[in-house]
């Protein structure tokens, strides 16, 4: 039976995206696009909540999130022709709010400038093909530890937002009152999200958030303000970058920390998703890698200009690939859907902190899985990795965790006599972080 949605030979969509050559159809790509969108649309609710902690206008951040996701994903679709969607990255938004603004005391405008600078560096690394050098220069176990540490950091933020973990004058943190409705609903939401994702329910994370939000309505924990309306104003965050701190050492640490996280996460996402789609060549390399990286670096710069933390490729794109997505048409569909999401601001604003915390806790679990892949046979490898991962939530700073990881890694290798593994790049980065800690 002929697929009625199969592209006609020589049609515009077939020529541009290569549907026939990729063994896919318009119908398959559209379904894949909807699938990817539903697995990652939670970001339009969670991102404004997190960046709101930095003092940013939540309505403007909502619009910036939708626009950054839509425009960046369309660039990936048309320029790189991959079924990969982009949006403000989880972990990077927490780094922006809780480390750059609340810990280092930069304004969110200066934070956006740091995001823009990291995007420019990422662009240069992509254009001059230096990305491989940078990635290969960083120890593999520290890369895994950074991802896992960001997950642990997201976890403590989620538990704190739901008042499951609270401050304590003696032990620093302790268990909150689990009898409170917000705490109970957060736990219920987390369990729902995890269980629905296990059962491969489409839009599981969003469904879990909405379910506990609806339960909270009659309890007065959430307020219904409608479903559809005109988008809020983007003016409060549009082109608000402040480069006044660009000469400070801490600002440079922030820029390079954002760059490291973005480069590593992006590389893992690109390889993971395209491998699942069977798009890697015989040598395991990604064709048009440069195009994909340039698309990602553009996303970081564009997002900062309109008012959001680093925009990057999303691992949730794998859900669309699993549904058959093989080309940029999948990403183009996601782009259009994020544009339509602009008109659902009241629905996004209705979701309370405990519901977004449930989603945040689930994402934390996904990211912390990186600990399982660390090499546990060599103490000079796993000890610095654990230090890096644990330090991030306990110091409330992703950059601090990265710095302590590099310092302990370099010292452990040198003292153990493993001089070859203490590469010049690692030593230089360790020294830079040591200077930063010595002269804060």
How many Å is the Cα radius of gyration of the chain? 22
pTM: 0.76
Encode pLDDT of 151-197 as tens digits: 788 788 889 888 898 888 888 888 888 889 999 999 999 999 899 98
Residue-wise pLDDT for 352-382, tens only, equals: 888 878 887 887 887 788 788 888 999 999 9
* CA dist., res. 198 & res. 412, Å (int): 40
Q: Any idea which of 13-22, 209-218, 427-436 has the lowest mean pLDDT?
A: 13-22
Torsion of the alpha carbons at 430, 145, 422 and 397, rounded to the nearest 10: 0
pLDDT confidence of residue 1: 42
> What pLDDT is recorded for position 284?
57
Residue 174 burial class via C-beta count within 10 angstroms: exposed 0-12, middle 13-18, buried 19 and up? exposed
- pLDDT > 90? residue 114: yes
Q: Which of 425, 56, 92, 68 is nearest to 258 (CA)?
A: 92
Look at residue 2 and tell me if it is in a domain. Answer: no
pLDDT tens-place string over residues 5-50: 555 555 777 778 877 877 888 888 888 888 888 778 888 888 998 8
With respect to residue 45, please indicate whether it lies within any of the assigned structural domains: yes
**203 backbone φψ class: left, alpha, beta (φ>0; ψ -120 to 50):** left
152/159 Cα distance (integer angstroms): 11
Q: Give the pLDDT confidence of 374-421 residue by residue, as tens digits.
A: 889 999 999 999 998 899 888 877 778 888 998 999 999 999 999 888
Helix (H), strand (E) at residue 394: helix 379-395
Helix (H) or strand (E) holding 242, with range, is: none
| 55 lies in some domain | yes
CA atoms within 13 A on the CB side of 384: 25
Looking at the domain assignment, is residue 181 inside a domain?
yes
Indicate whether 244 belongs to any domain: yes
Rounded Cα gap, residues 345 and 423, in angstroms = 49
Query: What pLDDT is stored for residue 156 in this prediction?
Result: 86
The model's pLDDT over 246-260, given as tens digits with 9 standing for 90+, comes to 988 888 888 988 887
% of the chain beyond a pLDDT of 90: 29
Asked if residue 1 is part of any domain, the answer here is no
Asked if residue 5 is part of any domain, the answer here is no
Q: Taking residues 283-304, what's their average pLDDT?
A: 82
Task: Give the range of the structural domain holding residue 180, as residue numbers without chain letter.
Answer: 12-438
Q: What average pLDDT does this structure show over 102-113?
A: 92
- Which residues are CB-contacts of 196 (< 8 A; sequence separation ≥ 6)? 204, 205, 207, 208
Mean pLDDT of all residues in the chain?
Answer: 84
Q: How many CB atoms lie within 10 A of CB 228?
A: 9
**Rounded to an integer, what distance in angstroms lies between the CA atom of residue 37 and that of residue 332?**
11
Q: Which helix (H) or strand (E) holds 72?
A: helix 58-75
Could you give the number of structural domains in the chain?
A: 1
**Is residue 221 situated within a structural domain?**
yes
pLDDT at residue 184, as a whole number:
94
């Amino acid at each position: 039976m002929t697929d009625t949605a199969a592209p006609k030979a020589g049609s515009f969509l077939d020529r541009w995206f290569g549907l026939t050559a990729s063994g896919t159809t318009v119908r398959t790509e559209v379904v894949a696009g909807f699938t990817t969108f539903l697995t990652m649309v939670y970001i339009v609710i969670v991102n404004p909540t997190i960046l709101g902690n930095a003092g940013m206008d939540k309505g403007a951040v909502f619009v910036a999130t939708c626009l950054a996701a839509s425009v960046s994903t369309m660039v990936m679709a048309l320029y790189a022709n991959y079924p990969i969607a982009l949006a403000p990255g989880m972990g990077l938004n927490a780094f922006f709010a809780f480390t750059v603004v609340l810990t280092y005391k930069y304004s969110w405008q200066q934070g956006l400038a740091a995001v823009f600078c990291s995007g420019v560096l990422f662009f240069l690394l992509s254009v001059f093909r230096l990305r491989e050098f940078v990635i290969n220069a960083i120890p593999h176990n520290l890369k895994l530890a950074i991802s896992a540490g960001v997950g642990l950091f997201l976890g403590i933020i989620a538990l704190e937002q739901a008042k499951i973990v609270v401050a304590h004058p003696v032990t620093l943190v302790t268990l909150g009152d689990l009898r409170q409705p917000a705490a109970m609903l957060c736990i219920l939401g987390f369990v729902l999200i995890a269980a629905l994702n296990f059962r491969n329910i489409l839009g599981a994370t969003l469904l879990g958030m909405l379910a506990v939000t609806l339960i909270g309505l009659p309890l007065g924990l959430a307020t219904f303000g409608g479903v559809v309306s005109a988008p809020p104003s983007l003016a409060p965050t549009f082109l608000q970058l402040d480069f006044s701190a660009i000469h400070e050492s801490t600002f440079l640490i922030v820029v390079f920390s954002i760059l490291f996280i973005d480069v590593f996460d992006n590389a893992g996402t690109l390889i993971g998703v395209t491998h699942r789609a069977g798009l890697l060549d015989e040598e395991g390399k990604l064709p048009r890698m440069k195009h994909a990286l340039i698309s990602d670096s553009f996303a970081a710069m564009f997002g900062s200009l309109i008012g959001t933390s680093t925009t990057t490729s999303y691992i949730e794109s794998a859900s669309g690939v699993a549904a058959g997505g093989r080309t940029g048409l999948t990403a183009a569909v996601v782009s259009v859907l994020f544009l339509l999401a602009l008109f659902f601001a009241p629905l996004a604003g209705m979701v309370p902190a405990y519901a977004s915390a449930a989603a945040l806790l689930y994402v934390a679990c996904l990211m912390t899985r990186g600990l399982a892949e660390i090499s546990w046979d060599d103490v000079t490898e796993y000890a610095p990795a654990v230090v890096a991962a644990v330090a991030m939530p306990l110091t409330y700073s992703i950059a601090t965790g990265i710095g302590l990881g590099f310092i302990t890694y370099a010292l452990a290798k040198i003292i153990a006599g493993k001089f070859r593994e203490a590469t010049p790049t690692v030593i230089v980065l360790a020294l830079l972080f040591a200077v930063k800690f010595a002269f804060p």
